[in-house]
Amino acid sequence: MENLLEIIWDAVLDSLKNLPFLLGAYLLIEFIEHRASQRLTQALTRLGPLGPLGGAVLGCVPQCGFSVAAANFYAGRLISPGTLLAVFLATSDEALPILLSHPEALDSLGRLLGVKFVAAALLGIAVDLVAVHVLHHEEKVPFHDLCEDCGCEEKGVLRSALTHTVKVFTFLLLVNFLLNWAIFLVGEDRISRLLLSGSWFQPLLAGLLGFIPNCAASVILTELYLGGSLSFGSAIAGLCTGAGLGLAVLFKVNRNFRDNLFIIGILYVAAILTGTLCQFLFS
């Protein structure tokens, strides 16, 4: 019973951390939808090559809330797929605070930020150059998919934003609870053994572990790296796919399933390539 209460409490805390970002993102989305001019909307949807660079910078900030906000912006067609992927790839969640708490690992922190920023920016720019030929987005008014059935246009900015926030927050709370419960049942030691310590296949498995849509994934990956069970390249691979709750929110708010699979596929391939390259460079 005590463990269950602790799991519930951790799930609530993890979800509450994202609440300000969710509300802020939806307030901005609803304000633009209700009040902003068409010119502003078009400018936001056509950031060009600066989009992925900005996304890479935001992703390096140690907060998974930016990936949540980016998923919502992408579903509303405010940002490009390259910008979304740049945010996802650069996101490290709790890895940065943990590394900062270990003075002996500060050199790893610098390498981590540098590698993830460069990889995220390059990936985002490359994806934006080819995405128009792959995703085949229909020309739609921004926010059409995000707000098609919720009647946002009939409500005020605050009420519409609160409605979206409550729905997604409830979804995140459920996801966090289920994931925390699963991690409790499996255990971190067993996860470490499953990651094939010392194997060149380790980045492949670490990349899959990073897809767990929860800040706990970045904590596990970072602790395993600091403990010597995970190589730097494998940690990079896992932290590159570790977009926190952003991936869960993407599937919740973006209705184009093929689009979502494309995002995940590109993210995984880029993470594995980046991690494997780091295996050679920093081993």
pLDDT at residue number 41? 44
pLDDT at residue number 190? 73
pLDDT at residue number 241? 94
pLDDT at residue number 228? 79
CB atoms within 10 A of CB 161: 24
Q: Name which of 119, 87, 112 is nearest 97 in CA terms.
A: 112
What is the SS3 assignment for the chain? CHHHHHHHHHHHHHHHHHHHHHHHHHHHHHHHHHCCCHHHHHHHHCCCCHHHHHHHHHHHCCCCHHHHHHHHHHHCCCCCHHHHHHHHHHCCCCHHHHHHCCHHHHHHHHHHHHHHHHHHHHHHHHHHHHHHHHCCCCCCCCCHHHHCCCCHHHCCHHHHHHHHHHHHHHHHHHHHHHHHHHHHHHCHHHHHHHCCCCCCCHHHHHHHHHCCCCHHHHHHHHHHHHCCCCCHHHHHHHHHHCCCCHHHHHHHHCCCHHHHHHHHHHHHHHHHHHHHHHHHHHC
Q: Is the dihedral of CA 259, 246, 60, 165 positive or negative?
A: positive
Token pair of 264, please? 């995940």
pLDDT at residue number 184? 82
What letter represents residue 256's amino acid? N
pLDDT at residue number 40? 47
Domain boundaries, the chain: 2-282
pLDDT at residue number 268? 97
Q: Is the dihedral of CA 197, 199, 203, 208 positive or negative?
A: negative
pLDDT at residue number 10? 86
Token pair of 110, please? 């610098």
Q: What is the pLDDT along the chain (283 residues), one digit of tens a residue?
A: 778 888 888 888 877 877 887 788 678 767 766 665 455 445 545 656 678 888 898 888 766 667 888 888 888 888 889 999 999 999 887 788 778 877 888 889 899 999 999 999 999 999 988 876 665 555 454 454 555 555 555 556 788 788 878 887 887 788 778 878 877 887 767 766 666 666 778 899 899 989 988 777 887 888 788 877 789 999 999 999 988 788 988 998 888 898 999 999 999 999 999 999 998 888 6
pLDDT digits (tens, 9 = 90+) for 115-168: 999 999 999 999 988 876 665 555 454 454 555 555 555 556 788 788 878 887
pLDDT at residue number 176? 75
Instruction: Classify burial at 132, counting beta carbons within 10 Å of its beta carbon; exposed 0-12, middle 13-18, buried 19 or more.
Output: exposed
